[in-house]
């Protein structure tokens, strides 16, 4: 278990240093990072954590900002799973017409009526606004299931040239 966890941590570190110097990656690669993160958390929680990931075949090759999905999962663990006896997390990424939907569901406590966004949520919101300029929606839902859903309108299939190295400008 320790060896597997160290290898997963190394892969996560490798991803975080962004050798490709890209602001985006494919949905399938983001979900790969999520799987590594959840395997590490499963080592921590043991049988207390179950998870599943579903990705539409059509959605796999679309681009999403780096570290968009993983912080959603991290919040589900921190604010949901950590507070229940047996936690369940589901990640769904679907493509419908001109929309990419990313949903993270968990069985932790419901979102409060007045949600206070932490660093991760604020970072996601700022990133989406910068890259998609209002062509996105973030929803925190308690019904019919507790979930965070991000909808991106007209998602990118290739990295827009205007965003390459946008941090350096």
Return the bridge partners of 52, or none.
90
CA distances from 73 to 6, 37, 92, 161, 163 (A): 20, 9, 11, 29, 25
The predicted model gives 143-148 an average pLDDT of: 94
* Burial zone of 22 (CB within 10 Å; 0-12 exposed, 13-18 middle, 19+ buried): middle
- Mind listing the pLDDT tens digit for each residue in 14-57? 666 665 667 888 999 999 999 989 998 988 898 999 999 999 99
Residue 162 in this model has a pLDDT that exceeds 70? no
Distance CA(130)–CA(141), nearest Å, equals 24
- Counting residues of the chain whose pLDDT is more than 70, the rounded percentage is 89
Read off the pTM: 0.85
Angstrom CA distances, 85 to 27, 49, 110, 112, stand at 30, 9, 15, 20
Encode pLDDT of 122-134 as tens digits: 999 999 998 899 9
* pLDDT at residue 79, rounded to an integer: 85
Backbone phi, psi, residue 12, to 5°: -65, -40
What is the structure's pLDDT at 18?
Answer: 61
Query: Can you name the residues that pair with 141 across neighbouring β-strands?
Result: 147
Mean pLDDT throughout 133-138?
A: 94
**What is the average pLDDT value for the chain, to the nearest integer?**
87
pLDDT exceeds cutoff 50 at 89: yes
The per-residue pLDDT for range 105-119, each reduced to its tens digit, is: 999 999 988 888 888
């Amino acid at each position: 278990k320790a060896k597997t966890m160290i290898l997963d941590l190394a892969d996560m570190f490798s991803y975080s240093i962004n050798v490709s110097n890209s602001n985006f990656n494919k949905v399938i690669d983001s979900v790969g990072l999520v799987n590594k993160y959840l395997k590490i958390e499963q080592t921590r929680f043991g049988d207390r954590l179950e998870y599943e990931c579903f990705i539409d075949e059509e959605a796999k090759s679309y681009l999403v900002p780096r570290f968009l999905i993983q912080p959603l999962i991290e919040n589900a663990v921190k604010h949901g799973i950590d507070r229940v006896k047996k936690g369940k997390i589901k990640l769904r990424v679907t493509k419908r017409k001109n929309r990419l939907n990313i949903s993270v569901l968990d069985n932790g406590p419901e979102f409060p009526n007045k949600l206070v966004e932490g660093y991760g949520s604020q970072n996601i919101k700022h990133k989406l606004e910068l890259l998609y300029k209002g062509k996105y929606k973030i929803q925190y839902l308690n019904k019919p299931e507790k979930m965070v859903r991000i909808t991106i309108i007209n998602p990118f299939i290739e990295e827009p040239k205007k965003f390459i190295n946008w941090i350096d400008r």
